[in-house]
Structure 1
Amino acid sequence: MKRLPFILFLLLSIFSFSQTLSSKLDKQTLALGEAGTLHIQISDLQAKDVLSAPKNELLPFHFEEIKDSINKQLNTYDRVVEFAVFEEGKFTIPALDFRVNGKVLKTIPYDIEVINTAQKGDEINDIMKNKQVDLGVQDYWEMYKWYILGLLIVLAVIFLIYQLIKYGRRKNSDPIVMTNQTLRELEKLKKKNYIEDGNYRLFYVELLDISRNFITKQYKIPADVLLTDDLIDVMKLNNTISPENEKIIEDIFLRGDLVKFAKVFPDQQDMQTDFDQLKTFVKRSSKDLEIEQLRTGV
């Protein structure tokens, strides 16, 4: 019996120094987007720390926290969370944990129903009447300037690409370019020593191929598909190649055909002469084209 007062005193001391958590939800039925408030209070703190979820992260996913304020005093802790829900249905705020000096305190869970208060056929009125604003040139420029600048950049890039392609084609079709290229091909033929070895058949086959390719590209005459007699006739009618150069081409092609069909057997002097004559013709071709441009007024 003597111990009973002591036990009662001990229990009263424990309860008198323990923390008390209370929570209050102002509404359990909300309209879509309507604000609700959850108030949480802990008393008898005795300057102890309170650990809980960070600000704006206390409530679960569907609850959009609008405001989360915490006020902690020496003996009290107040936290007020203002929130809204933007979906219809029933939602639950679960028991929330608050740790005080290693002890976990929990709020009670709350069920909330969110309803859509708008009715079908309700008239929706604007808060303010629409105001017509006159836009000036500067306003339209601010609205569309990036589209205009982007279009100008695209057009500039297209124009630049076109000029590069045009310049590249003009450069590749320049008579001097074709002349130099053919002269290099003749030098390669010279290094094969067909003349020194007396290999007249291969020499004339390659010499005529170089000649036909050059005439086709330089004078725009289809020498690569015409027979020798037809080519000579076309050159005379075309009147682009000078008479001196026509004579060189005619002699080389006629002799080349005779060699290919084994009717003549040229010596080294004839081969060297034809080689030198073709080289002279190639070098003089640009002069032919200049005269032709003056004649036609191009």
Structure 2
Amino acid sequence: MKKILFIFSILCSSLSLAQMITSNLQKKMLALGETDQLIIRIKYLNGQKVSAARENELLPFHFEEIKDSIGVSEDSYERKIEFAVFEEGKFTIPELEFKVGDEIHRTPAYEIEVVNTATKEDVINDIMSNKEVDLEMADYWELYKFYILAALAVIALIIAIIIILKYGRRPKSSPKITTNLTLKELDVLKKKKYIENGDFRSFYVELIDISRRFITTQYHLPAEVLLTDDLIDAMKQNNTISPESEKIVEEVFLRGDLVKFAKTFPDETTMQKDFSDIKTVVEKSAKDIEFENLRKDV
């Protein structure tokens, strides 16, 4: 009997020392712009370090973080996030990863419904009655001068575009110019040392933005407005981009999406490789376009 009690006490003490993560969402239905709060707690740390996404970067982009506070002691970790959503619909807070020592802990996913509480039947009453006012030419000019000036500016712009299209000449080296400009942007990104500082989210956001602008200009694809999956399909239908470049862009963009939503934490080696691969795609693009032009001529 004593042995059983001894074994039972050892099991209880080991369980009490095991790390435990809990999370609590204050509300699962919100009005537009209404604030909500998510609280994550980790107990029994025993001095171990907790690693997670940086402040104000834990939740997906639909959630506007208002306040992100972290409290840490030797034995516990607490994170309180106040947020709001400014779009109607159903949104999901995915499983959030927290690394304690060498172990990964995850919170449960939450679904939030956001509704617009305003209705068409709401009556808006004027504070004062409307009054009729006689207007003169000067008054009409003050009222409509910006519209007139804007119309003249649009007409001038249309004339300028027609002149450029009719008489202007596109530079023969435009693909090389785009390549050189993009390489300069990549050099600027490299100097920010996001990779060395472990700021993987900022690194992938800027790397993908640069890549999207490059694809839009160099290959005339609407990369800046397409979702990642749609852009990948569009690239596969474009004969100018080489299969090797398509594969690189697909891998980097998909990894970047996972990083944005805090679903993966890439290491320095992965980030260095992605940067080098995108740079290679940019450097090879001018030759790909020249080869495609020669193939069309043949």
In the superposition, the TM-score normalised over structure 2's length comes to 0.43
Which structure is richer in relative contact order (CA contacts within 8 A, separation 6 or more)?
2
TM-score by length of 1: 0.43
Question: Who wins on radius of gyration, i.e. which is larger?
Answer: 1
